Amino acid sequence: MPPSHPLALKYLYGGIAHCRPGQSLGPRDLPDYELVLVIVGQVTYQVGKATHHARPGSVILARPGFHETYFWGPDAMTRHAYVHFDIEHMPDDWPPAAKWPVLYSEPNPVIGPMFRHLIELIVSHPEWPATSPGAEACRFLECLMDILLRPVRKSRSAIQHQIPEPVQRVLGLMRQILDDEPRRAVELHHFAKRAGVTEKHLCRLFQNALGHSPMKTFRLLKLQLALALLGRSNLAIKEIADRCGFENPLYFTRCFTQTYGKSPSLTRASLLDHQTPPPNPLPPEITPRIYW
């Protein structure tokens, strides 16, 4: 796929607005693009026949041609940040503007700090309403818009599924062993003792949280470390096997091939050829510390 052309802006300006209780803005026909971040208070945004209720932290993304009205909350002052901009060239890989959401009620948490930084950039460049902003500002706004328009898909993650505390304690022990003494012989009862539960209950917790038993999870962590070392180090495969706690290099190769579909040597060759590494069977948050 050819690279997308970067965002180019005709102009960019914005600021912070304080609105009295019950105040309204509009109706008006919007001539450009506008991002609104609600900081304090409640906002009702009406565009066409649709009505959106925005609470603090919400972001409104308005587009040219919107027939819109803002109604500020009736009980208290409302404060919001706003950014107006017009586009000279839109990145090719953005979805059509007609399909953009109007309201982001729970945007990515980085949007708030990024919005504040954007306002600071605008304040430090009072010439932008009359001149095109530089490439740095265009890149920053493009990044902010990318996060809004192409949110990361939620996956089966440790954060999302709230890994139980006993499982977290055992994962910590597994990482510690891989760090300090990877060739140490470990059995299930060692993990159950660290977790403070029975072996049977620990197996059930691991299966529900990660889809694997504790012992298999430990082996997968070792193989995940081996995969990283194949791509990031010059260690021989036998040395990698030893570093990851496999005394027998042949057993290491068999386990690795069963998990990733290729032998360690073929996997290293594909990584050096800049091919995409094979997916890990564990969630991305469950990763060993990588050093050698």
- CATH number of residue 217's parent domain: 1.10.10.60
| Two structure tokens written together for 122 | 């605008």
Compute how many other C-beta atoms are within 10 angstroms of the C-beta atom of residue 114.
19
The answer to whether 44 touches 53, Cβ cutoff 8 Å, is: yes
One digit per residue, the tens of pLDDT, for the chain of length 292 reads 445 689 999 999 999 999 999 999 999 999 999 999 999 999 999 999 999 999 999 999 999 999 999 999 998 899 999 999 999 999 988 999 999 999 999 999 999 999 999 999 999 998 888 888 999 999 999 999 999 998 766 554 444 457 899 999 999 999 999 999 999 999 999 999 999 999 999 999 999 999 999 999 999 999 999 999 999 899 999 999 999 999 999 999 999 999 999 999 999 999 999 898 999 899 877 888 876 6
Q: Identify which of 225, 221, 263 has the alpha carbon closest to the alpha carbon of residue 243.
A: 225
Range of the domain at 70: 8-149
Judgement on whether residues 173 and 140 belong to the same structural domain of the protein = no
Confirm whether 169 is domain-assigned.
yes
Judgement on whether residues 16 and 143 belong to the same structural domain of the protein = yes
- CATH number of residue 118's parent domain: 2.60.120.280
Rounded CA-CA distance 121/271 in Å is: 40
Would you state the pLDDT for residue 161?
A: 53
Judgement on whether residues 67 and 200 belong to the same structural domain of the protein = no
Confirm whether 29 is domain-assigned.
yes
Would you state the pLDDT for residue 145?
A: 96
